[in-house]
Amino acid sequence: MKIQFFGAAGEVTGSRHSVQALIGGRERRFMVDYGMFQGGREATSKNLEPLPFSPKEIDFIVLTHAHIDHSGLLPRLCAQGFSGPIYCTDASFELLKILLPDSAHLQLADVERAERKRKAGKWRGDMPVALYSQAEVEMTLKQFEVLKYGQAVEPCPGIRLEFRNAGHILGSAIAILDVQETNAPVKRCVFSGDLGMKGKVLMPDPALVSEADVLLVESTYGDRLHRSLQETEDELVEVISSTMKNHGNIVIPAFAVGRTQEILFVLIDLVRKRLLPHLNIWVDSPMATAATHLTQHFFSQLDKQSQATFEWFKKHPDAVTLRFIADVEESKSLNKIRGGAIIISASGMCDAGRIVHHLANNLPYAQNAVIITGFQAYGSLGRWLVDKVPVVKLFGEEVPVRASVHTIGGLSAHADQAGLLEWLRGFKQEPKSVFVVHGEPVAASALADSIHKELGWTHVQIPERLKTYDC
């Protein structure tokens, strides 16, 4: 068996892994995830790279969850000739029907905006590229095969697939593939996808897996520990209270899927516990609005605490004034609010979408606050804010950063180092091959070292992008 890493190797985004195996005398190839690179100019060139083999050679694709850094290039691959099935959970498929069309729309909007600026003589640098169209998204959505957690299928003879709950976002899964190679015992390959935190709001704990021959484990926060939920809530209360006292606005960049819904549940719960007064919250992201409604649809997949908070809010709808912004004009009207607003908007890394407009209008004023609640990839605008730069460039203009910027890690949808190690302890014995993926070099190295020291595992490596490994 051979595994080749096309992304999320020494970095966080662009998750794509190719697996080759000789089964029944025939070479089989499948891929786990086919995500988009995000953050900085390098991401664009990587997204445009062709595969070293024909997409027609891929038998099937396994998708761990719907986030764009895991799913975002699927329409491009299908347009290039991949015609096989794409396996995911039911909730992931519903999210993809929201996320992928939005991705195509944002790409087209970026191209059209750049063309207008170029005609006006205001564009500098390379032109953006639309990686795929709405029509190609529609074609791709027809190729999905939906599975429930724990349901086993045989994507092709000699390969068995099953999903377990990863606790990361709605529909997120750990993929377990049992591969029967020619003249060899069955190999169990486990792909962690993105693992959630144990005891976090909204999602259940990630399922434990007891056996693996080949394991890929994520390491987004492999070098650190998150604050506890209690510490996170205390900091949120402090930031929100002080900002409201100073008559400022709070801008929260948030991934439309998962993070926005978590933030809403936490804020509503803080009001329920009387730790915060009545709040005025605007969710300015059509995709986040759709994802929030979808979360209600999959109510039974949420953890018990979140179900209880949601039921309380239904009985006390006036405790929080919650508005979902429907159109662009309504979004623009938020710029007139000079204080008292909590604006949650996408994208989560601040690189596109309506959040950029809200930052442009709120960053220059010291009474305002920006709350960063998720991972910010190197090169992204969100990363610049986390790194406390004094000035950022938005829409070609320099914008001073006078608003306070607060990074609150306890809301992360990713397990921290302790959480990852706890999940790894669920294996009864060391897998024969362990690959630490989906982490920047420092985080991946720290997790690999911790696995060596704390678990005593010796077959642990950090793969290089584009390199092929025998397993």
pLDDT tens-place string over residues 310-338: 899 999 999 999 999 978 888 999 988 98
> Of all residues in the chain, what percent carry a pLDDT higher than 90?
76
Q: Please give the average per-residue pLDDT across 416-425, as a whole number.
A: 97
Q: Please give the average per-residue pLDDT across 425-435, as a whole number.
A: 98
What would the pLDDT profile of 51-87 be if each residue is shown by its tens digit? 999 999 999 999 999 999 999 999 999 999 999 999 9
pTM for the full predicted model = 0.87
Q: Please give the average per-residue pLDDT across 399-413, as a whole number.
A: 89
Q: What confidence score (pLDDT) does residue 220 get?
A: 95
Mean pLDDT of all residues in the chain? 93
Residue pair 38/69 in contact (Cβ under 8 Å)? The answer is: yes
What would the pLDDT profile of 83-120 be if each residue is shown by its tens digit? 999 999 999 999 999 999 989 998 998 899 889 988 98
**229 falls in which pLDDT band (50, 70, 90)?**
confident
**380 falls in which pLDDT band (50, 70, 90)?**
confident
Domain chopping of the chain, boundaries: 2-224+413-470, 229-411
Q: What confidence score (pLDDT) does residue 363 get?
A: 96
CATH architecture of 2-224+413-470: 4-Layer Sandwich (3.60)
Residue whose C-alpha is closest to residue 223's, from 407, 460, 440, 464: 440
**255 falls in which pLDDT band (50, 70, 90)?**
confident
Q: How far apart are CA 30 and CA 4, in angstroms?
A: 11
Angle made by CA atoms 445, 447, 449, in degrees to the nearest 5: 70
> Would you say residue 41 has pLDDT above 90?
no
Q: How far apart are CA 431 and CA 442, in angstroms?
A: 23
Q: What confidence score (pLDDT) does residue 431 get?
A: 98
Quick one: CA dihedral 214, 216, 222, 228, positive or negative?
negative
User: Which residue blocks in 4-149 are alpha helix, DSSP H?
Assistant: 41-48, 68-71, 74-79, 90-119, 134-141
Residue whose C-alpha is closest to residue 343's, from 318, 315, 363: 363
Q: What confidence score (pLDDT) does residue 192 get?
A: 98
Q: What confidence score (pLDDT) does residue 205 get?
A: 94
Q: What confidence score (pLDDT) does residue 128 get?
A: 87
Q: Which segment of 69-83, 216-230, 455-469 scores lowest on mean pLDDT?
A: 216-230
Residue whose C-alpha is closest to residue 18's, from 8, 7, 5, 9: 5
What would the pLDDT profile of 160-216 be if each residue is shown by its tens digit? 999 999 999 999 999 999 999 999 999 999 999 999 998 888 899 999 999 999 999
Q: Please give the average per-residue pLDDT across 126-139, as a whole number.
A: 94
Q: What confidence score (pLDDT) does residue 408 get?
A: 87
Fold for the domain defined by 229-411? Rossmann fold (3.40.50)
